[in-house]
Amino acid sequence: MAKEKLSIVKIGGNIIEDDASLSAFLKLFANLKGKKILVHGGGKRATSVASKLGIESKMVNGRRITDAETLEVITMVYGGLVNKNMVAQLQALQVDAIGLTGADINSISSEKRPVKDVDFGFVGDVKKVAHNSIDKLIQANFTPVFCAITHDGNGQLLNTNADTITSQVAVGMSELYDTSIYYCFELNGVLKDINDKNSVVKHIDSKLYSELLEQGIIADGMLPKLENCFDALHHGVKTINMGNTSMLTQENDNFTRITL
């Protein structure tokens, strides 16, 4: 028997930081038919609050370190300010939203990243998605809105990459649903020519992916994203879509659809 469809939509900081973009996106999300989950990433909001509080962003080799103070700011800004305002706005759009971290209903547990060359601090790598618990919310017609925070099960919240949360939640929910991911980002999709924003590759399957890799057409920044996509597809996710938020409408087909 065919499983019911479930869409997992991820938005990044560029949308969250701009009130008009966020409001426009939330309308698109509210109009998206069927059962759905929203995941929102970080953005510069936390950095600006941290800097006002006199907490400096710590970087090692260009990567951000989450010390205890930074984790507090992330919990305040993403878990509180951004998440709860988004929930209130979705309620006004008749979406019965519920804002979550991975600690809520133990939905996403993770493991503090082991210290090797770099100590990333309070950063968590996802260990387990409680798909049955999340499904209780979905079955009650609630729409989960996840921020990029998980927990270790011992009382410690952990900062976690929002793209990873998205793919792991989608993989977990694939036990119960036909899942599609929508990664909303700045570009129109995967581009053949990075300098031509209209050179969208509309469909990538395993075969084309190998060819694009061989031809060296996939740009550096896109490589890990696509690797993660095919990993999720190999673990049960049906379709992954990458493009700007207008891909959520029926009218626009100018985005990249990725399948096995």
Residues 151-190 that bind its own copies (CB under 8 A): 151, 153-157
- 43 annotated ligand-binding residue: yes
The Cα 161–Cα 115 span in angstroms is 17
Helix, strand, coil content of the chain in percent (nearest 5): 40, 25, 35
In 3-state terms, what secondary structure has residue 156? coil
Q: What is the DSSP letter of 250?
A: S
- 42 annotated ligand-binding residue: yes
The helix (H) or strand (E) run that includes residue 252 is none
User: E-strand spans in 17-142?
Assistant: 35-40, 58-60, 63-65, 97-100, 108-112, 124-129
- In the complex, what is the shortest distance from the CB of residue 176 to its own copies, in angstroms, rounded to a whole number? 15
Residues 77-116 that bind its own copies (CB under 8 A): 77-81, 83-85, 87-89, 91-92, 96-101, 103-106
CA distances from 171 to 157, 175, 223, 230 (A): 22, 8, 20, 11
Residues 54-73 that bind its own copies (CB under 8 A): 54, 72
Candidates 7-15, 130-138, 177-185, 197-205: pick the segment binding its own copies (CB under 8 A). 130-138
The Cα 189–Cα 219 span in angstroms is 12
Using the rule CB under 8 A, is 199 a contact of its own copies? no
Using the rule CB under 8 A, is 42 a contact of its own copies? no
- 80 annotated ligand-binding residue: no
Tokens of 112: 């503090």
- 221 annotated ligand-binding residue: no
Using the rule CB under 8 A, is 40 a contact of its own copies? no
Residue ranges binding its own copies (CB under 8 A): 49, 52-54, 72, 75-81, 83-85, 87-89, 91-92, 96-101, 103-106, 133, 136-137, 140, 142, 149, 151, 153-157
Annotated binding-site ranges for substrate: 42-43, 64, 159
Residues contributing to the annotated binding site: 42-43, 64, 159
